[in-house]
Each structure stands twice: as C-alpha cells, then as structure tokens.
Amino acid sequence: MFFYTGYGLIIIGLLISLIASWNVNATFKRYSNTRNSRGITASQVARQILDDNGLYQVTIERVSGNLTDHYDPRANVVRLSDATYSSTSTAAIGVAAHECGHAVQHAQGYVPIKIRSAVIPVTQIGSRLWYIVFLLGLVLGSSYVGYTLQLVGIALFSLIVVFQLVTLPVEFNASSRAMRTLESRFILSGDELTQARKVLTAAALTYVAALVNSILQLLRLLAIARGNRRN
C-alpha cells in the first residue's frame, strides 16, 4: 500500500509544480506586452528604488534567460533577465521591484531573510546527502542500522522543507514591499498595479508549490520507511 501511496504523492506534487510553473509563465507573458504609462524600463525602476533606499552601492546587471531575475547579496547586485531588464511592461517592473525588495530586506536586517541565509549551509548538506543515506538504509533493509539510516535521510531531507518554509515570508514580504513602493512612488497606477500584483502573486505561488511538493515527498519517505520497517 505504501508503494502506491508514495507514487501517488509524487504525481500530486508534480502536478502542483507544473501548474504553478505554467501559471507564472503565462501570467508574465500576458502582461509583458502591457507598457507602463510612464514609459520607464524595469532597470530604471530598479535603480530608482535602490537609490530611494540609500542602496547606491547595489549595482544592476543584465543576465541571460527568462525569469532568471534575482538579488545576489554576496556580490551586492540585482540581476535582471533579458525579458526584464529593458522592458517597459508592468510585468517586468513588478519583477524588478520584487528583487529590489530583497536588497532592501538585507540592508534593513529583515529577520526571516537572516534566518534563511543562516540555514542555507545545512540545507545544502541535506540536499546532497539525504538520498544517498536514505537509499543506503533501504539497501540494509529493516534492520536497526537500515531503519536508522532511513530516518537520518528523512531528517536531512527535512532541512530542505524547513528552508522552503522560511523562504515563504521572505518572498511574500519582498512582493509586498514592491507593491507598496510602486504605488507610493507613483511608478505604476490603477490597472498597472493590478497587473504587477498578479505577476508577483503567480511567482509567489511557485514557492508555495515547491513547499507543498517537498512536504508530499517527505510524507512519501516516511511511508516508505514505515512500510519497510513493518516488513
């Protein structure tokens, strides 16, 4: 029974991730053709937001790809994708403002992003080792050592779930900061704000989907370990 339950959870998680990915790409594409009334580019908006927050040292770079936008705190740079950098669309401006929100979070010492940064090293260890440890436990079967290794593998995978859980408030807060800034600085208005909000909401849902997918994977691992223990 746990075998079928496990694969059922995988299918559900995959469907959730695919739907979230399709939604964010479709939403971005829909509003990437809507030019903002001021005619300013996403990179210009990013520079304005950074300067308004005193982050003159944070640079803006163009990076290849589509929706590969991100803020790199180590290099102190906001990287905007080809689809965003020179675009005047409401979608691109929303994305650029979101990434600047992360830069402001770091500058202001936003607690959740500090926690996320702190757990990254252990999360990387967990992501590299959990499968090897868990698989080794399965090879050793239902013995004490085998079951213990399975539990260790599950614990290591749980670190990924914790990281994704901490990521949620960071991403939602960055989007909230972005929308407040776009409105208060009169960068976007009316329907333009609504369109940018839809893009950022769709993007945020991808993080929710990733968390749900990981939780389902965790339940699957627990089901496998419990079934193996019974056998």
Active site residues: 99
Q: What is the DSSP letter of 55?
A: -
3 state SS of 142: coil
State how far the Cα of 196 lies from the Cα of 124, in Å rounded to an integer. 32
3 state SS of 1: coil
Q: Residues for the chain: how many in total?
A: 231
State how far the Cα of 163 lies from the Cα of 161, in Å rounded to an integer. 5
Q: What is the DSSP letter of 185?
A: T
The two three-digit tokens of residue 152, written as one number: 């260790």
Listing DSSP states for 196-228 in one string gives HHHHHHHHHHHHHHHHHHHHHHHHHHHHHHHHH
CA 96 and chain centroid, separation: 15
